[in-house]
Each structure stands twice: as C-alpha cells, then as structure tokens.
Structure 1
C-alpha cells in the first residue's frame, strides 16, 4: 500500500489536500455561521452581538444549527482552494522558469494570488450561495401558518416557481380583504391574483432567503444567473485575499529562511542548502497571512453575503434589465457590487472572519503536510 501511494503522487496529494480542506472547514464552520448571521442581520440602526446570534440559533435549531450548510461549504472550499493554489502554482512555475534558484519574489506572489483568487470566486460562488441560505435558515423559524386549507388553494405558478412553498395565510387574507371593496368584472379575482408571481408571499414581496434553499428552488424562482449572485464583490474579495495571502506568506517564508541561514556554518550558497522551514512555522505563517488578508478583504465579503441573501425572482430581474435600471452608489460601489445602504456596516463581523480564516489556514497547511508525509 505504501508503494502504491508513492507511485501515485498526484492522487496522494489530491487526497491529502481534500482531507485537509474538509478538516479546516469543519473546524471553523461555526465561526463562519456566526460571522454570516451578524453580517446579514446587521443594519445601520442595529448591531447584533455574538451572544444574541448564539442564543437565537440554539433556541431555533439547536447546537447543530451552527453546522447548517457545511456540505456546501466543504464542496466550495475544496473547489475554490484547489483553483486558487493550482493557478498560483502554475503562474509561479512560469515565473521561476530559467532561474538558477527555486525562488519567487513577493510581487510575483501577489500577482499570482490575485489571479488565483479571481478563479476561486467564479468556482465557489454557487456553493457559497447555498451555504448562506442554509445558515440563515438556522436562525429563522419557518412560518407556522401553512395550513392544509392554504396548501389546497395554491396556484400552479407557486409550485412551478418555488417548490414546496406555502404563502402566509394571514398576509394573504389581509391582501384579499383590501381588494374586496374594489369593483371588478372578473368573477374570480382571488384565483386570478394567485397566478401572479409577485403575490406568491401574499404580501407583494418576494420570499425571504431562508424560504428559498437548494439548487432546484433557486434556479426555478431566480434563474440560472442567480447562482453567481454577488460574483463581482466575490472577485474583489478573493483577489485581494489571494494576493495578500500569498505575498505575506512568501515574505514570511523568506524571512524565516534568512533567520535559519544565520546560524548555519558554513553559510549556505543557495536556498536549497538552507532546507525547508519547520511544519509549525509554516502553519503559523499561513494562519497569520490569512488573518491579514481576511481583514483587508472583509468589506467585500460583507457585500457578497448581503447580496446573496436577497431573493430576486426572474421577472424582477427582467424588468430591471428592460427598464435599464441604474445601480445606485459611487463608481467603485457599482463595479464591486457594494450597496450604498451598507456603507456603515461593511466591517461587521471582521474579527470572527479573521479568526476563522487564520485558524482554517493553520489547520489546512499543518494537516496537509502531515498527511503528505504519512502517505508518501
């Protein structure tokens, strides 16, 4: 078995990477859930505390609620980190081609990390959408007014656009009551109103984020383009994160090699003679670099989370496109997908994200090198 692993180096590295990413995601997913709920529930006049979010999730979903959406998170992290490190390795191999030493400059690591982060955002955005919807559902109780009577009177449009959804009967009765006094030639006004998608909640508003979960519901109600909702802010976030992460890690790696070379006698003539840094040092450097990168890119992470929490049915998106609806905000906000209403809350949950990113990178790098040493 040991010889088999050594002969299949690519497979062993792939298995080690997937296992380490899954371990890091499982270790830090509760922190990610807390961070997401604080970002989504924040407003200019309200700031949710960690204690409030903890109490709400435990009272509604129990302790297991903190792992809502973990499957989507693990899949997104595996594909996203695979793309990030894969693009980085390809570009740095191009940079090092023809050099005598296996050396990458900090500026080169920055550019390669930016490119890797952009590709990561494209691949991981759909998984993050489903993960966020599941996390939000853990802090909100589903409507209890879905009676049998209301289920029997659901129009075909409801079942086509949103499978399994039942409108709020109290809100629907209120809407019908307001329209009862209007003169009409249609003998079945209530039945006709049920066919309009914008009446599916009984309030004239689209469903909430926790009511639209899973690929089938999202695609049927919001369309295929909704899978990449928040992509612009995601590209900004992951590009900044990848660039700062790899450049900081490379800077710390060079500093540790220089420190290690000071005590060597005779002095090394190349990087290869210094040897690798210790596993603990590499893991700590990765964790610190990840925390710094998370702090630098956090405002775009908040913008992406809040964008993905908005349910926009297909007919609304089509109306905005036909009417050439102008996106509000400054130029940078329009390009990066930041809402002007979120300017004062862009840094909510930053400490949780720094802790999650640092701990996850420390665990991923350490467990990856341990797994590789064990397998090979």
Structure 2
C-alpha cells in the first residue's frame, strides 16, 4: 500500500481552536482523523483521512465483549523555527505491532502508518500549539469490529489515529509526587499482557489508583504479581531509581511495558556516561538504600510527563521521603534535555527527531 492510495476528505466546517493557556489533556480533538480497515482475506484496506467524527459499530462488535484492542501515544511539536517534528515515532509503531502480536491483531505497515500520520499532521498543522510546553498529542489505536459473540480473534478491525492539542503537563514546573506502594492489587504477570499497550491493562489498574488517591497519593508503585516483592512500574509509567550514583530501572521481564521514554532515558544516561543498569530491584532494596542515605532520586517516565519526580513512597505504614521532597538534579536535567531536543532548542545528537515535512535546501 502506498501513500497515494489514501483518500482524503477535508472538513467543510473547521472547529474553534482552544487557546494555548486553556488546553486540557485529551479533551479537544483536531478537525480530521485517519481510518483504515482490515478484513480477513483482504488485509488492511481503504486508508482515508476524514473529518473527525463518531464511528458506528454493531452492539455485537467484539471490542465491546472481549477487549481486543491496542493503542499508542506520541506527540508532535513545533520547533522555534516552525518546523513540525515527531519524537521517535518509529519506536511507537514498532511497539504497536508488538502489542498487535500479543493481542492476535494483524500488524500494520510501519512505513505506511508513519506516512499517513505525517499527512494527517500536515492537514491539521494549525492545531499544533506553539506556546512553551505545549504539543499535539497523537493517539493511534486498533479495535476489533467483527459482530460476533465468540471468544476468538476478530476477522475485522479498524486502525484509527486521532489527535489532541495539549498543554504543559506541569503548569508551574515539575514537582515531586507522593506514591503508595501497592500490596493488594497487581498490574500484570509474566505471560500476561503487561508488555502490550492494551486497554485492559489500564482498566484493571483503576481500582488501585482510586484507593491511593482517596488516601492522598498521586499514584501506586506496582510490585510483581507473583511474589509482590520486585518493583515493576509506577502508575502507567516506567520507573527509575538513583542509588549511590547509579541509576537502576526494572529489567524488561515479560510483564513490564517497553516505554519509548524509558529507552530514551537509558540511552541519554549512557551518552552522559552515567552508570545505568536494568535489573530486578526489590522494594526492600529501595528501603535499605533510603535508610542508608543512598537513595538519591526516583522518577517515573512516559510520553505525557516525560519525567515525573517522586518525592515520597508510602510502604509498610512508613513514609520514605526522597531528596527532602524536592525534584532531583538528574530528574531536572533529563526533563530539560529531552524536552529541549523535542522542540529543537537543543541538538539532537542521538537521532531521535523525525521531521514531518522534509526541509528543502536552497542551492
């Protein structure tokens, strides 16, 4: 399938765009969306960009009953010279296909998906906010649509991309959050769907999140689903600890999501020659490091926030305060460096930036 196979229908009524200082995450969507269908025997077909609109499915569509779905999250940015860029989008589409494989959903062609996304961004480029800290959030997702009440892979799917202008995740700068270590519920187990970005993982996390918020904590720290001993993720983010000069993050073990920001943080630390390791790390080890004064920082990583510093853990009825509850030096440096690369304020030495439109060099 080639880019010229894509049908484009432009809206006749453009929506009013929100002001940059009034943006909320995932509340307002751009004028257009991308859709492509899959039918068993025909493969992916009928790629099109159409006005943003509702989709109609039969009540028996398998997505409603068996949860066969995957999604991704990425962002487009304006640089200071009005160049539209994406941050490592090929990594997101590669992970989308890994999720597809786990959920028995047909893979998409990464080159075509990226070309379609670029076309959609160009059409809706007026929606990319240019104020400090703002961006265009992009949500590609695939749902099963076959009308059939049977537990088996669907024979029909829709691949859709929608986009939403979003403000800065941190309105007044990055601030540490309080985290409760989860002891009752589990996020995922090895052999489950923890490595896939699928809706069911997030639905199953809501109860723990609700309880932690009621107790005054922003998120939960997930432990492994078998021994409830080893750290896995924090909320819906990957997690890092700086212990006695070394940065440690849980190794990908079959239940932890391979975050794009996670891999970027690891590459950046290696680029800076800061010791970083991917291994098992228990909550007991973190506790002991705190008791010995060696736990210097902890932070979550993800597309929305990039870096979310952790100022406190609540574990076994004890509060572990990190860095006097302040944002650490490394957390700040990582956040500033990656966001500056994303917006073109700092040189992209690691080849992370993809240009939406190729620049034409004047001879």
Whose helix fraction is larger, Structure 1's or Structure 2's?
1
Whose strand fraction is larger, Structure 1's or Structure 2's?
2
Same fold (TM over 0.5): no
Question: Taking structure 1 as the reference length, what is the TM-score of the superposition?
Answer: 0.25
| Higher RCO structure, 1 or 2 (CA under 8 Å, sep 6+) | 1
